[in-house]
Amino acid sequence: MPGPHPTRRTALLTAAGLGMGAAVALTDARPASAALRPFGPYGSPARRLGPRTLYVDPHGRGDHTTVSAAVTAAAGGGWTLVLAPATYRETVTIPADRTGLTLLGATADPRNTVIVYDNAAGTLKPDGTPYGTGGSATTLVQADGFAARRVTFANDWLRAEHPDITSGTQAVAIRVLGDRSAFHHCRFLGHQDTLYADTRSLGVTARQYYSRCHIEGDVDFVFGRATAVFEDCRFHTLDRDVGFTPYGFVFAPSTARATALGYLATRCRVTSAAPDRAYKLARPWVPSSDTTAWPSLVVRETWLGPGTDAAVPYANMRDAHPWQDQRFAEYRNNGPGARVIAPAERPQLTAAGARAHTRETYLGDWAPARTG
């Protein structure tokens, strides 16, 4: 191929912007209006939306030039951080005491505002030990009541650039631990383990809501033990230069046995850049830290494209924990990947059973806005 070989760092956002899902171009693609009004309709340091609003711009037109610095300054609860369109190459932690914090992308397009880094589970920390899967996250949300609107969270670590790392290729874009976490019109980009929808600890419930989001990856790219609702989202499976199938799995829930409900995908789309039938819809994750986990997943009224293996959409992560023993079910899905070829391979809910799997039953007394 002529010219330099593209990497996730040089191509990710360009491809994502074209809907190709192969990678994020981390060039400055700010709209022209951002030069004059970097915070769009959301005010400025001279005209704040409110006393608990901070502005972030790497070009120095806000209160802070990095997201991390703004989070540090936002002591207490209820802050809104308005992010100017830019690529923020940094890791970000939202501590537990930053309750009710909101990250707000200043433009209508989440592709313009990107938080990205490139640690993997096998990447070594300064002390010489590996980060591990959770530690690889570009963004870590520990606080309750967190919200994000029109922001892209990405991890652009690539296997091909690190042939020395054959184990520990998980590279998390965001790990969400807090209860009542809501994401509207956001994008989550990575390869293996993109979105870690989790809880702070075993026995703690974390309700999460994802509305009109784009989530892409290859292996287990939506995983963890949170109680999470994905509504009107797109899950996009990536092509891979490998000689085996399946290429990967969309979901890998690890719901605790005491948690009544795990992941719910409703009115979503599962698309693919890979060959037909290259991906499984899900496999259960029963981690060594919780051998009694009882993974829970319901996919309902969702379009499944030809990249999903309709004949055998589920698989085991470990044979000791077969998917048939877990809480996996579907309801009124459609599309070529939703065809029921062998009923035993696709458990279906009845209409009565489906009434127990709605946004309201999963989120309980929390009713986040449907749009943002």
Cβ neighbours of residue 68 closer than 8 Å, sequence gap 6 or more: 90, 91, 92, 93
CA 356 – CA 360 distance, rounded (Å): 9
Catalytic residue among 97, 220, 290, 325: 220
| Contact present, 236 and 214 (Cβ < 8 Å) | yes
Indicate if 220 belongs to the active site: yes
From CA 25, how far away is CA 226, in angstroms rounded?
A: 30
Burial level of 10, CB count in 10 A (0-12/13-18/19+)? middle
What residues pair up with 334 in beta bridges, in sequence order? 303
Kindly list the distances between the CA atom of residue 284 and the CA atoms of 66, 92, 251, 257, 278, in Å, as whole numbers in the listed order.
37, 29, 8, 13, 18
Q: What angle do CA 301, 193, 225 make, to 5 degrees?
A: 65
- What residues act catalytically? 220
